[in-house]
């Protein structure tokens, strides 16, 4: 057990190149998380209700689309012996994925969304379809390649050491560069931003492709797997029965939801509360710097205790408490202080989320006796996609309750003051505080409690899974 745990067969270049997948996956979503809501609702003028419905329609379709893709590609093809099982699909998906990102921020001249919302509504759905279809082809294969290429716990922890700072750099670039590119809140500026972000994404794709090549050992493992494929329904049932899957899913949804709210609300807070969108860069920089400083602390704790479940649960708890503190900011200085606290705590979930998922994949292999992890990814895609827009629904709900939903197309505080009373604006701002503080705190604390008592893969169980996988020659 000890030797297998400590085995490392990859070069630093391989870790760095594969780690660039995290750059891309993090970077492409950063401007979306920050600006997509504001762009379509405030700049284009699409009612937030239509925006939420578009994401709901897309989510339902994607919940069907992604698992089918995962099942179809989780097999050997004619090219597997030469090119590997995952690498060709990663190449096929990556380029159109980046183009889809550009389309999202490039709404063409259409009838005003405030008069006729349907053309803009349809453009949003189609752009989301293109972005996600090819993104799914690339991301599913990257995620499934991770546990096959990095097979030991030592390799996975070493990769996390690369992934986490790379992800943080990606978030820094993704969150700091787009606001710098936006010289004004108009369509042309957003299109320029989208183009530059797309070009950076393509560069990162070129850098990660070498690290996604399967080596000969992994190819041979794929080719030696002649076991009958699990049927789609039977395979999904094998995943649904796993407690570890549901707890990993719960933690991931909590993480996605609270981060989606945080990123989506920042531009609203600095536009309509602080009347200076440019200051958002300062808050993001403080948050990111604190997060980067926290990574060595979390990695050191992980190496000391080698108990991912315990460290991950602790991270969820303190992240929730940090969000609760964030509710009480009252000026720029207090917001920056609370942003630093929040940034320090997020490093845990960035570092260990993929490791938790890898353990779930290991358990599925042991339970089924087959290396067909696409089943897990397929079911994960169904529920993750349906839950991925919870943050949008929560934002739309609070906007509706406070009355802010009626002000689509308003892009500055001056414009808002011209059409809303002081009391109304204060109510809107209070809604922002609830969204960015109280709601995330409740979600994370409840999620941590459930995760701790139900997630079954503790330290000893993880080691037993690794030994069993070795015995099964998977």
Report the share of the chain in percent with pLDDT over 70: 92
Which CATH number is 10-472 given? Answer: 1.20.1250.20
| Residue 229 pLDDT grade (very low, low, confident, very high; cuts 50, 70, 90) | low
DSSP 193-247: HHHHHHHHHHHHHHHHTGGGS--HHHHHHHHH--SPPPPHHHHHHHHHT-HHHHH
Asked whether the predicted pLDDT for residue 3 surpasses 60, the reply is: no
DSSP character at residue 329: -
For the chain, the average pLDDT equals 85
Q: Where are the domains of the chain?
A: 10-472
Q: What is the pLDDT of residue 262?
A: 92
Q: What is the pLDDT of residue 2?
A: 44
Asked whether the predicted pLDDT for residue 5 surpasses 50, the reply is: no
Asked whether the predicted pLDDT for residue 152 surpasses 80, the reply is: no
What is the rounded distance in angstroms from the CA atom of residue 21 to the CA atom of residue 27?
Answer: 10
Asked whether the predicted pLDDT for residue 256 surpasses 90, the reply is: no
Give the residue from 464, 358, 364 showing the smallest Cα distance to 1.
464
Give the residue from 111, 114, 105 showing the smallest Cα distance to 48.
114
Q: What is the pLDDT of residue 415?
A: 94
Q: Global pTM?
A: 0.80
The pLDDT tens digits of the residues spanning 58-91 come to 887 777 777 677 777 777 777 777 888 888 889 9
What is the rounded distance in angstroms from the CA atom of residue 232 to the CA atom of residue 143?
Answer: 19
- Which of the residue ranges 43-57, 280-294, 424-438 has the most confident prediction, judged by mean pLDDT? 424-438
| Residue 374 pLDDT grade (very low, low, confident, very high; cuts 50, 70, 90) | low
The pLDDT tens digits of the residues spanning 104-144 come to 999 999 999 988 999 999 999 999 999 988 988 888 888 88
Q: What is the pLDDT of residue 336?
A: 95
Weakest-pLDDT range from 100-114, 256-270, 358-372:
358-372
Q: What is the pLDDT of residue 227?
A: 61
Is 245:376 a contact under the CB 8 Å cutoff?
yes
Weakest-pLDDT range from 43-52, 278-287, 420-429, 449-458:
278-287
Task: Give the mean pLDDT of 245-263.
Answer: 90
């Amino acid at each position: 057990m000890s030797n297998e745990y400590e085995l490392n067969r990859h070069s630093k270049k391989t870790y760095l190149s594969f780690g660039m997948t995290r750059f891309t996956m993090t970077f492409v979503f950063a401007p979306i998380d920050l600006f997509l809501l504001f762009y379509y609702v405030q700049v284009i003028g699409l009612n937030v209700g239509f925006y939420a419905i578009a994401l709901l329609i897309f989510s339902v379709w994607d919940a069907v689309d992604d698992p089918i893709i995962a099942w179809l590609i989780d097999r050997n093809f004619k090219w597997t012996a030469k090119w590997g099982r995952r690498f060709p699909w990663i190449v096929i998906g990556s380029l159109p994925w980046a183009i889809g990102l550009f389309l999202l921020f490039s709404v063409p001249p259409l009838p005003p969304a405030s008069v006729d919302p349907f053309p803009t509504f349809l453009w949003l759905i189609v752009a989301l379809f293109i972005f996600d279809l090819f993104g799914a082809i690339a991301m599913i294969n990257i995620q499934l390649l991770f546990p096959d290429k990095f097979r030991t716990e030592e390799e996975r922890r070493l990769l996390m050491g690369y992934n986490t700072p790379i992800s943080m750099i990606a978030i820094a670039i993704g969150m700091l560069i787009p606001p710098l590119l936006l010289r004004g809140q108009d369509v042309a500026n957003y299109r320029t931003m989208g183009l530059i972000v797309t070009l950076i994404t393509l560069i990162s794709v070129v850098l990660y492709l070498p690290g996604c090549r399967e080596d000969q050992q992994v190819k041979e493992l794929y080719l030696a797997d002649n076991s009958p494929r699990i049927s789609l329904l039977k395979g999904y049932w094998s995943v649904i029965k796993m407690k570890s899957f549901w707890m990993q899913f719960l933690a991931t949804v909590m993480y996605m939801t609270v981060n989606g709210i945080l990123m989506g609300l920042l531009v609203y807070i600095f536009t309509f509360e602080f009347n200076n969108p440019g200051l958002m860069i300062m808050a993001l920089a403080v948050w990111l710097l604190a997060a980067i400083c926290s990574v060595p602390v979390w990695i050191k704790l992980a190496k000391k205790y080698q108990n991912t479940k315990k460290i991950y649960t602790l991270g969820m708890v303190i992240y929730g408490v940090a969000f609760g503190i964030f509710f009480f900011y009252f000026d720029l200085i207090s917001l920056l202080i609370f942003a630093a606290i929040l940034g320090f705590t997020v490093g845990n979930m960035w570092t260990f989320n993929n490791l938790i998922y890898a353990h779930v994949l290991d358990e599925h292999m042991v339970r089924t006796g087959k290396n067909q992890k696409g089943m897990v990814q397929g079911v994960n895609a169904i529920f993750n996609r349906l839950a991925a827009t919870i943050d949008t629904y929560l934002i739309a709900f609070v906007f509706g309750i406070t009355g802010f939903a009626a002000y689509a197309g308003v892009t500055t505080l001056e414009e808002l003051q011209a059409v809303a009373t002081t009391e109304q604006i204060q109510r809107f701002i209070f809604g922002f505080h609830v969204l960015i503080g109280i709601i995330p705190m409740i979600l994370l604390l409840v999620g941590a409690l459930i995760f701790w008592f139900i997630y079954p893969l503790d330290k000893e169980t993880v080691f037993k899974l690794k030994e069993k996988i070795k015995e099964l020659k998977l």
